[in-house]
Amino acid sequence: MTQTQDPRTAPARRAVPAAIGGALDATARVAPRLAGRLALELWRRPGRPVPVGAHEHEVHAAARRGRTGDVVTYAWGDGRRPVLLVHGWGARASRFADLVRALLDAGLSPVSYDAWGHGATPGAAETILAHQAVIEELAREHGSFEGVVAHSFGVPVALYAVREGLAAARVVAISGMGDFGYLVDTFCTTLGAGPAVNRELRRAIERRWFAGDTGVWDRFSVTRTPGRELLVVHDVGDRVVDRAQADLLLRAYGESGTLLETTGLGHNRILRDPDVVAATVRFLGS
């Protein structure tokens, strides 16, 4: 519960996802495939795009805007030493405003984009493969990236792009997950939906986007990319992505992975923390 929420209405807010989860469970008992399709429609929509934050306006306005298809892109700086920023679910590129300022001060040139259904980009969520296509286009436009910084869902997006050949020697994974299936698990947990809905949602994702390929859960989970360095930043009290997901990232990268653990910053405020921002810039510029 945030400080702006009225505690008298909190039970009603908690009842909404519980009711949806119960309805999906009931549907799964009589029409499993339909339950999967319904869950997928909920899963792939991030909700109303969040506005640009008050402290983000100056940085947001200073960006050079572009487009890759329907996707709105942003670039700052003189173009030398580009760094890619990949935002998380329900966010937008402007959430990196503090980091953008610090990167510019260090002589780096941030590049980012608003994913589908986020920020200024219309539509519903797309797959990691669609993100990869946008990232490849940004690399063609801006040249080889010196590094990548990703937050939350942006982490599997960024790591997959690097694994598929994106030239970036260093990756910073902030509040991210190493297990692609974790996205489905946490969605079902939030709704209070049971194993049948989880199973059917996975099958719906496989059918809709991957021609029934059941291997996508391993394909998009973390795998070490040789020659790359990974900085994992995670808060011990993150309530959105469990701290254990950081361990998956670190185990995959072994000696090429480094952990920066924080306390009291949660899932989103970590992006604005001065120590996290400074450590990220040092890691990218070292």
Q: Residues 19-78: pLDDT tens digits?
A: 888 999 999 999 999 999 999 999 888 788 899 999 999 999 999 999 999 999 999 999
pLDDT of 204: 96
Question: Taking the model in full, what pTM does it have?
Answer: 0.91
CB 147 within 8 A of CB 75: no
pLDDT score at 236: 97
Determine the Cα–Cα distance for residues 114 and 243; give it in Å rounded to an integer. Answer: 26
Say if residues 109 and 67 touch (Cβ distance below 8 Å). Answer: no
Residue 208's Cβ-count burial label (10 Å; 0-12, 13-18, 19+) is: middle
Task: State the pLDDT confidence band at 16, using cuts at 50, 70 and 90.
Answer: low
Mean pLDDT of the chain: 92
Residue 205: pLDDT over 90? yes
Distance of CA 167 to the CA centre of its chain: 20
Please state, for a pLDDT cut of 70, what percent of the chain lies above it.
94
119 pLDDT above the threshold of 90: yes
Exposure pattern of 19-57 as b/e (b: 16+ CB <10 Å)? ebbeebbebbeeeeeebbbbbbeebbebeebeebeeebe
What radius of gyration, in Å, describes the C-alpha atoms of the chain? 19
Domains and CATH numbers, the chain: 10-285 (3.40.50.1820)
What residue spans of 10-163 are helical by DSSP H? Answer: 10-30, 32-43, 57-62, 97-105, 128-142, 154-163
12 pLDDT above the threshold of 50: no
The residue whose two tokens read 């510019």 is 104
Q: What is the mean pLDDT of residues 112-116?
A: 97
Give the residue-averaged pLDDT of 74-87: 97
- Mean pLDDT of the 214-226 span: 94
Task: Report whether 153 contacts 95 (CB < 8 A).
Answer: no
160 vs 148, 218, 220, 242, CA distance in Å?
12, 11, 6, 20
Long-range contact set of residues 27-32: C-beta below 8 Å, sequence gap at least 24:
28/194, 28/196, 28/197, 28/200, 29/196, 32/196, 32/199, 32/200
- Tell whether the model's pLDDT for residue 137 goes beyond 70: yes
pLDDT at 148: 98
pLDDT for residue 285? 87
* Residue 103 near residue 110 (C-beta atoms within 8 A): yes
Helix and strand totals (H; E) in the chain: 11, 8
Residue 107's Cα: distance from chain center in Å? 25
